[in-house]
């Protein structure tokens, strides 16, 4: 009787362990960015086909809700701000949100900055990991990328000037 109880308990514990291990922690996800099917330029173009506007910022990370790698493209059209989420595999719009804004935001011409692929290589020279997330925006007059690379359960963040490719911090 005790032996049967131990076997059942062991099976239950093993099953729970496998289930929890399979779920994983999505905060730990990272990807070899060279394997991403849709690049930032394509994501921006897809978002601009969906709504009018100039680029305010763009970010790339794992969308926990959609369970996919995605870009969040923020566009500005006058006083209207739009956030368009684009699937990094299919290059299809997953969702969009718009709201009226009164503040003036600087827009970015993506053609005038270093492509993110080159920025990732700059960061990888310092820390050879996979991409956990990145973003591009303007802060205090400087257009910069924030890049987070992950390897072996650890991550490192970089702030890199989008024009000069200089590591700011």
Q: Which two tokens stand for residue 26?
A: 């999505």
User: Can you give the residue range of the structural domain that contains 141?
Assistant: 33-161
In a domain, 9, yes or no: no
pLDDT at 101: 81
* Residue 141 binned pLDDT confidence (cut-offs 50, 70, 90): confident
pLDDT digits (tens, 9 = 90+) for 143-154: 999 999 999 999
Q: Which two tokens stand for residue 126?
A: 């310092």
pLDDT value at 109 more than 80: yes
In a domain, 128, yes or no: yes
Query: For 43-51, what is the mean pLDDT?
Result: 96
Query: For 10-27, what is the mean pLDDT?
Result: 35
* Residue 3 binned pLDDT confidence (cut-offs 50, 70, 90): very low
In a domain, 109, yes or no: yes
pLDDT digits (tens, 9 = 90+) for 120-136: 999 999 999 999 999 99
In a domain, 145, yes or no: yes
Q: What is the total count of domains within the chain?
A: 1
* Residue 27 binned pLDDT confidence (cut-offs 50, 70, 90): low
pLDDT at 8: 40
In a domain, 21, yes or no: no
In a domain, 14, yes or no: no
In a domain, 127, yes or no: yes
Report the CATH number that the domain containing residue 102 is assigned in CATH.
Answer: 3.10.450.40
Task: Give Cβ neighbours of residue 9 (< 8 Å, ≥ 6 apart).
Answer: none
CB 160 within 8 A of CB 120: no
Query: For 73-89, what is the mean pLDDT?
Result: 94
Give dist(CA 74, CA 149) in Å, integer.
23
In a domain, 75, yes or no: yes
pLDDT at 15: 32
């Amino acid at each position: 009787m005790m032996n049967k109880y131990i076997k059942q308990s062991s099976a239950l514990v093993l099953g729970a362990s496998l289930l929890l291990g399979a779920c994983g922690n999505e905060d730990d996800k990272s990807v070899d960015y060279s394997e991403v099917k849709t690049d930032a330029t394509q994501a921006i173009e897809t978002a601009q086909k969906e709504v009018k506007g100039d680029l305010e910022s763009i970010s790339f990370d794992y969308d926990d809700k959609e369970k996919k790698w995605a870009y969040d493209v923020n566009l500005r059209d006058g006083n209207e701000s739009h956030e368009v989420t684009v699937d990094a595999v299919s290059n299809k719009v997953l969702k969009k949100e718009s709201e009226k804004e009164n503040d003036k935001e600087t827009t970015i011409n993506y053609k005038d900055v270093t492509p993110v692929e080159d920025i990732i290589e700059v960061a990888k020279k310092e820390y050879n990991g996979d991409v956990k997330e990145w973003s591009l925006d303007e802060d205090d007059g400087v257009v910069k990328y924030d890049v987070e690379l992950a390897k072996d359960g650890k991550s490192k963040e970089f702030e890199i000037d989008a024009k000069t490719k200089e590591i700011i911090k």
